[in-house]
Structure 1
């Protein structure tokens, strides 16, 4: 192999390696619960940064190959999480261990109870949601058809939108401000959804406590 061939090989394998790393991290975030430990390397920050890299790199990274691949990886990881929950039940989450993880699982269970189908879609934008909701949906015996449709909408909306927003934020000066605004809105929606779930959870617990006092 001469120098030119080696250069061509590196030029062609560089983008492929980049795609595989990004897609692998997205998949591992839910399927292998890596998002519990390093949510910033498997979530929104990863996608936004990957989009920026695709816009600024000189090695011909395709934003559409990258973004659609992210959506597919997110969809596949949620599918695995769902089937693990369906087949293995609660023990698959009990083995995660640690008080923070147990609290996150309890929070996610409440979020799922409150929002049902929408929890799978919205959960993609919430760190603890995208890790645990697919498994909890499986444990809760959500019908596969309902889960699959919510999974498809959430995975593609999250994976494609945030990656493409990062790309335009770096590559198109005329839409850069709009891209950052959209990214801010997406993040704000995820925060609002999380806060709303937390407040409803608190209200539910307070009402439960009042009923217990009234019954005693």
Structure 2
């Protein structure tokens, strides 16, 4: 129950979590939970619900002058976590992908999401790794699906690096440059929820479209 509460608190208040780590861990070790959370979200297919986008944004806010984090350290720690996480996910899938899928233990890895990612890979190729970086859930599953046979490792690594750097830079620098604005400070929780909503929106829209197309096909066949 404590671990569930930890994740709930992190999802709802990443700013409070980072502030607590700065006090408890100090200016050096504070980067360890930041690295770990992004690495686990991108590197282990069992944890797609971790708050990558909002954590990057909040860390960017704390990387401004006097916030307790250093902007360059924040960027490079997250670059490493994002790139190494995807790489880990790829190789887990390469060795154990079929067994994990067949076991049915990853409930979030639904046939619908797998079909959607298959479509992404067929349509966009390696760009799928970059596109899905900005889509919660899909960014966790895309490297896993790539590792099951959609892409060789050299090509995957190229798009992994581009996607990881783009994703981290975008969210951290938005927090860094705009986090000090009084409106952002006063409505931080709402803005974090907005970031999550915008990130999840493409997946929700895609699911609605898929459901509508499926219903349409059933009517046509009836």
Q: Same fold (TM over 0.5)?
A: yes
Partner of residue 97, structure 2? 89
Larger Rg: 1
Q: Given the alignment of the two structures, is residue 202 of structure 1 paired with residue 214 of structure 2, yes or no?
A: no
Partner of residue 21, structure 1? 33
Partner of residue 80, structure 1? 88
The alpha carbon displacement at 1:115 in A equals 1.8
- The structure with the greater share of residues assigned to helix is 1
**Alignment counterpart, residue 111 of structure 1, candidates 112, 116, 120:** 116
Q: Is residue 84–residue 92 contact of structure 1 (8 Å, CA) maintained in 2?
A: no
Q: Given the alignment of the two structures, is residue 101 of structure 1 paired with residue 108 of structure 2, yes or no?
A: yes
TM-score (ref. length: structure 1):
0.71
Change (3 A) 1:63 1:34: farther
RMSD of aligned residue pairs (Cα, Å): 3.5
Q: Is residue 109–residue 141 contact of structure 2 (8 Å, CA) maintained in 1?
A: no
The alpha carbon displacement at 1:141 in A equals 3.4
| Secondary structure in structure 2 of the residue aligned to 1:140 | helix
- Pick which of 119-128 and 192-201 moved more: 192-201
CA distance in 1, matches of 2:104, 2:59: 29
- Residues paired across the two proteins, number: 192
**Alignment counterpart, residue 50 of structure 2, candidates 18, 36, 39:** 39
The alpha carbon displacement at 1:34 in A equals 5.4
Q: Is residue 75–residue 152 contact of structure 1 (8 Å, CA) maintained in 2?
A: yes
| Secondary structure in structure 1 of the residue aligned to 2:63 | helix
CA distance in 2, matches of 1:147, 1:84: 14
- Give matches, 1:66-77, under 5 Å: 66-77=74-85
The alpha carbon displacement at 1:197 in A equals 3.2
Structure 1: any 5+ residue segments left out of the alignment?
A: 1-9
Structure 2: any 5+ residue segments left out of the alignment?
A: 1-21
Change (3 A) 1:78 1:140: same
